A = this chain, B = another copy of it.
Amino acid sequence: MPTYKAPVREMQFILHELLSVQNYSNLPGFSDASEDLIDQVLDGGAKFAEDILFPLNKVGDREGCTRNDDASVTTPTGFKDAYSALVEAEWLSLSADPKYGGQGLPAVLNLALNEMQSSANMAFSMYPGLTHGAYQALLAGGSEEQKETYVTRMINGGWSGTMNLTEPQCGTDLGLIKTKAVPQDDGSYKITGQKIWISGGEQDLSENIIHLVLARIEGAPEGIKGISLFVVPKYMVKNDGSLGERNALECGGLEEKMGIHGNATCVMNYDGATGWLVGEEHKGMRTMFVMMNEARLGVGLQGLAQAEIAYQNAADFARDRLQSRALSGPAAPEKPADPIIVHPDVRRMLMDSRAFIEGARAFLFWTALQGDLQHKSPDEKVKEKAQDYMALMTPVLKGFLTDIGFKTTSECLQLHGGIGYTEEMGVEQYMRDARIAMIYEGTNGIQALDLVGRKLAANGGRAIFTFFGEMDDFLGEHSDDEDMKPYLDALKTARDQLQDATTWLMQNGLSNFNNAAAASTDFMHLFGYTAIAYMWAKMAKHALEKKDSGDPYYANKLKTATYFIERVLPKAGAHLAALKTGADSMMALDAEAF
């Protein structure tokens, strides 16, 4: 039987020790976030994820969603009640802006709850996840009236939100969008066109669905510079905020997907639907990018979250399943065979998973704290650095955490042997669900291009040089600490490889853009390993401080750090070697030769 237990202790270690969230009490909302309150929130969130969401995970996968003849969509059994409970418990408004009804707690704390919800039921958690992205876009680009009308009702999930970008002829290249918007005398627009792969485009969970739709105003410039953003509610909203008549839009069908069956992936048909411009004409991409950056962090989290639940179940299985004897002699002579956790190759799969998950979680939470600092710090230098880091790290978190997160789910499936391939153990669902995270909100190839083509070069490379400087400071600060030596040596190697790659890109990517693009995915992975090596070095420092505490937690942290250095980090060098060969061999064949 699959199980899920929220990794509360791991989250406490990161929030209380690694990030010392309590030290930021000068920031709005952080003063409320005492250690006690954080622990209470984590415990409450854990209970909700474990008891309410997780039991519906398999149900959602097996039942999927149904589009009815009247174009309504029915979500799996139990989803509606769970959603109501989620709204009622006000979990969704935890870190939202108090001005619009939120509780204003740190976003990094909210992220912890998001991880739990995503592990427990990824398909379900996407409904509120998209809502969060949608209202962030409205907060970033909408009018005060739009914020009052929509955001206040979306913050707790009573109304939900969606992102409508993709059309059949365009996913990555949004300049090809055909959906059109015709201005009306009353200041609204009539929106007409077809959008596809709209997660939660129709469902039976929320009272209203607020669609954010990219479209082209009649006569707009060609390409990406003629795209505007519109807010298009499912039900029109009256002046008093109550629901009016149905808008001219409907779900035309659901996609048959490999996974996330519990989430309705809709074809959305807009047939002269009434919408309102968000922000300026033709500047829709700017606001959409706010939403996408936000969403991308959340997708990176999904990679981590599915890895976590797959790992937990693999560890349970490895302790329970009896098969063969340990090479060093029977470990459980009273049983017919030893639990498979005694076998090194089984350990390899568990340790690979664990070293990734703990490092990735630290990296993700550390970056999310930058998000809090970016929005809340009174210090302009801190804000700038935080903003730089958010921009730089987001594509790495999205691409690297979903690539390795998926690989981890596959490795945890592997550990189960044949039964892992059947629905019985749940792990094959985690793998199928995790697979989408490498694709949506910009494929991982697009993340790598964003990193190499945009984020690296921004402000003359300020962000990555700041990051190198931060790592150098850390290396310098602890250079006298003998216990830190193995972790620092590993970090130094990784950091130097990343610097080498960055220099190579600067020397070879500008004269030939194909070199930069050819290097991009390897660079993103090299960056990911380096960032996680930095996190492991930081975690090792905190663990060393407590190594005499008698709590095995800290000794285990150090052992896992060593495993990461010895067994995982060598991959970084392979990425460096590959990327420095340039684009020639990659581009050598004619298209017809494939």
Report which A residues bind B (CB closer than 8 A).
166, 169-173, 175-176, 196-197, 255-259, 315, 318-319, 322-324, 327-328, 336-337, 339, 341-351, 354, 406, 410, 413-414, 417-418, 420-424, 428, 431-432, 435-436, 438-440, 443-445, 448-449, 513-514, 517-518, 520-521, 552, 556, 559-560, 562-563, 566-568, 570-571, 573-575, 577-578, 581, 583, 585-594
Contacts and interface: CB of A to CB of B under 8 A. Distances in A.
Central interface residue in A439, A440, A573, by most chain B CB within 10 Å: A439
Contact of A171 (B344, B417, B423): B417
Contacts of A570: 573-575, 577-578
A interface secondary structure, majority: helix
Contacts of A594: 315, 318-319, 341, 350, 354
Contacts of A583: 344
Given A328-B514, A343-B445, A348-B521, 10 more contacts: A176-B336, A197-B418, A256-B422, A346-B445, A348-B586, A556-B593, A559-B588, A563-B585, A570-B578, A571-B574
Q: Lowest 9 CB-CB distances: which A-B pairs, in order?
A: A566-B581, A327-B513, A315-B594, A344-B517, A570-B577, A344-B518, A559-B588, A345-B445, A563-B585
Given A344-B586, A436-B421, A588-B563, A414 B324 contact: no
B421 A257 contact: yes
Indicate how many identical chains form the complex: 2
Given A173-B323, A517-B327, A566-B585, A439 B417 contact: yes
A169 B418 CA distance: 12
Given A176-B337, A573-B574, A589-B556, A418 B324 contact: no
Contact of A343 (B166, B413, B517): B517
15 contacts: A169-B336, A196-B418, A257-B423, A258-B432, A318-B591, A341-B591, A344-B520, A345-B448, A347-B518, A418-B440, A562-B585, A566-B578, A566-B585, A567-B586, A570-B574
A179 to B, nearest CB: 15
A518 B345 contact: yes
A581 B559 contact: no
Central interface residue in A259, A342, A443, by most chain B CB within 10 Å: A443
A15 to B, nearest CB: 21
Contacts of A196: 418
Nearest to A416: B439
Contacts of A342: 591
B581 A567 contact: yes
Contact of A428 (B258, B562, B581): B258
B423 A256 contact: yes
A294 B339 CA distance: 29
Nearest to A346: B445
A319 B443 contact: no
Nearest to A590: B552
A445 B414 contact: yes
Contacts of A513: 327-328
A328 B583 CA distance: 12
B578 A567 contact: yes
Contacts of A431: 258, 435
A325 B346 CA distance: 46
